[in-house]
Structure 1
């Protein structure tokens, strides 16, 4: 294996997809650590609104372009110590409706990042997803578990497969070419600034509750998830980026507090009613929508998604701090002012 140098603490960070939900929180945290941050984002799902409060910061610059812009990416890679690669197709809605774009964005984007990083021996942090566990039946999911995916006729599994290719490619660059690469699998990550436009369940349910609408739950509502506060996820990503022993490894990042989607909807209603003194979200109606109506015929969902986080705890001592109640409170409070301002007008 080729030798490579790992900075003890990277100070020049390139974040792809940095104007997205997670990327904007990561940018803010790194700036607070006095890092110099460059964001590369094509604004396909990211937004300047997510980083508006950071505009004018002396250690931050924005580049609006695609990962496939070789000259731009080469220049940015040459100027950084670490690349945190978050740019990807996001959300079940986009994955199902535009599978070609999903696969191309994920695989070709990661390939471009790794090639550029290799030229300058830059450390790469690759964001993966809990979707790679597919139809896993062993709980909680551990990083070395076997994987079972569904039929290629179902576009849902194309997303999981594309992220698996990202992981295989990143680890191949590490093993074969000596490039320092770390893979982190994000489970359901939520918090302020997340939008429900791409199928994210928490902001969608919160917005429905605030608006006094019926809360829509897909399927029978018994499918369960573990929701991690974005600030906890950001702590994990930064911790892994600063851990030399993490190179060449795969890590789960997520909460272990499991909740069914039906229970989640009920807790969203309770939280909105507690925080909203004007009585918004007073409805207790929850409407069940079949998957075929919400997405497409033949759509498959994972019944449970629970991470084993013992590995990341062993390497950097990380575990989530925020409970689901903390998360819901933060999300509701971040979304309430806009609604109240509209009503006041």
Structure 2
């Protein structure tokens, strides 16, 4: 199978590339490197079945060419991270909505299956925890910048499902909950790599708010395995699936656990949301997925515990992790 992965040089995208190459598929990557990195895919560039193009999903001719060459599309390209979303809401909306429009329009011409990556952020301020795919989405006010991301991804979902219902384009939507693992960086506000780097450097571990907000963290390998199975499964078409772990922990407790596992002497400090992001910033108090729908379809069950995930991330940042696919010597790049 030939798989086009938009955003394939990103954290999740690079691991997905590895998974497809490992099972013998051919991988085409499109990434503008705005939040992804060549370093994430450098070890893949000499693989005979790996090709990448540095360009934007907004580039119609490039997207059309790559869609022609592939069998399926995994659309991961998006604005990511709370920090980027708060600081650049225009970029967030345009990247997410227009990029998805372009991908779906060209996929529809050839009726190529598309998996659209959405986010747990779409549940917004809902208190119906754990979150179910058929639950209500409760968005915050439009003058709160952070909700621009949630709303833009919700539009992506509506558009993908509309293409299926109206035009019979085979689409699948996944709502990714907090996904972590090697190669994730804290640059855009991802909490675990931020805490780990602070702990290893002996700097204060910065918890935003009072630390009572809870999250569930899944290892990228578990998430990628689910993505591959959903792309392959015919019954997934036209459906929305949560992907994540249901092992819940408060951010305050997470900071303490990372400090313990890393052997750090760092102080844990609390920073008000208004100081960290913007005045009036609203956070989700709990974010827990109901993954029973996914489990019923593909037998999904995260294999890695939170402690194992944290140990892997700590090892990576200490330079002890290894790649799934050994580094290659030569370089292969598709012309843009």
TM-score by length of 2: 0.94
In structure 2, the partner of 1:229 is 219
Shift of 1:148: 1.1
Specify the SS of the correspondent of 2:90: helix
RMSD between superposed Cα atoms in Å: 0.7
Could you tell me how far apart the structure 2 residues matched to 1:116 and 1:330 are?
39
| 1:319 and 2:325 matched | no
Q: Mapping of 1:152-167 within 5 angstroms?
A: 152-167=142-157
**Is 1:143 equivalent to 2:126 in the alignment?**
no
Matching of residue 329 in structure 1 with residue 311 in structure 2: yes
| Distance of 1:118 and 1:170 partners within structure 2 | 10
Equivalent residues, number: 320
Match of 2:265 in 1: 282
- 1:337 Cα deviation (Å)? 2.5
Match of 1:82 in 2: 72
1:240 aligns to 2:223 (yes or no): no
Matching of residue 14 in structure 1 with residue 27 in structure 2:
no
Q: Distance in 2 between matches of 1:331 and 1:100?
A: 32
* 2:166 is the alignment partner of 1:184: no
Aligned mates of 1:124, 1:141 — CA distance in 2: 24
After TM superposition, list the pairs within 5 Å mapping 1:250-289 onto structure 2: 250-273=240-263, 281-283=264-266, 285-289=267-271
Residue 278 of structure 1 aligns with which residue?
none
SS at match of 2:256: helix
Q: Which residue of 2 aligns with 1:131?
A: 121
What TM-score comes out, normalization by structure 1 length?
A: 0.92
Gaps of 5+ in 1: 1-10, 274-280, 339-345
Distance 1:118 1:55 in 2: 29
Q: Which runs of 4+ in 1 moved over 3 A?
A: none
CA distance in 2, matches of 1:136, 1:239: 29
Match of 1:122 among 106, 112, 115: 112
Measure the CA separation in 1 of the matches of 2:305 and 2:145.
33
Query: Hey, what's the Cα distance between the residues in 2 that align with 1:257 and 1:237?
Result: 20
| Per-residue deviation, residues 85-104 of structure 1 (Å, max 9, x unmatched) | 00000000000000000000
Provide the rounded CA distance (Å) in 1 between the counterparts of 2:165 and 2:205: 48
Counterparts of 2:170 and 2:24 in 1: how far apart (Å)?
A: 23
Q: Secondary structure at the match of 2:319?
A: helix
Superposed CA offset, 1:94-116 (max 9, x none): 00000000000000000000001
2:328 alignment counterpart: none
Cα deviation, 1:107-155, whole Å, max 9, x if unaligned, reads 0000000001001110000000000001111110000001111110001
Q: What residue is the counterpart of 2:292 in the other structure? A: 310
Q: Counterpart in 2 of 1:299? A: 281
Aligned pairs for 1:42-81 (under 5 A) are: 42-81=32-71
* Shift in Å, 1:54: 1.2
String of CA shifts for 1:198-251, please: whole Å, max 9, x gaps. Answer: 000000000000000110000000000000000000001001001000000000
Q: CA deviation at 1:271?
A: 1.0
Residues 44-70 of structure 1 deviation map (CA, whole Å, 9 limit, x = unaligned): 011010111112000000101111111
Distance in 1 separating the partners of 2:73 and 2:171: 10
CA distance in 2, matches of 1:48, 1:232: 23
Shift of 1:282: 2.4
Higher relative contact order (CA 8 A, sep 6+): 2
- Partners of 1:259 and 1:68 in 2: CA distance: 38
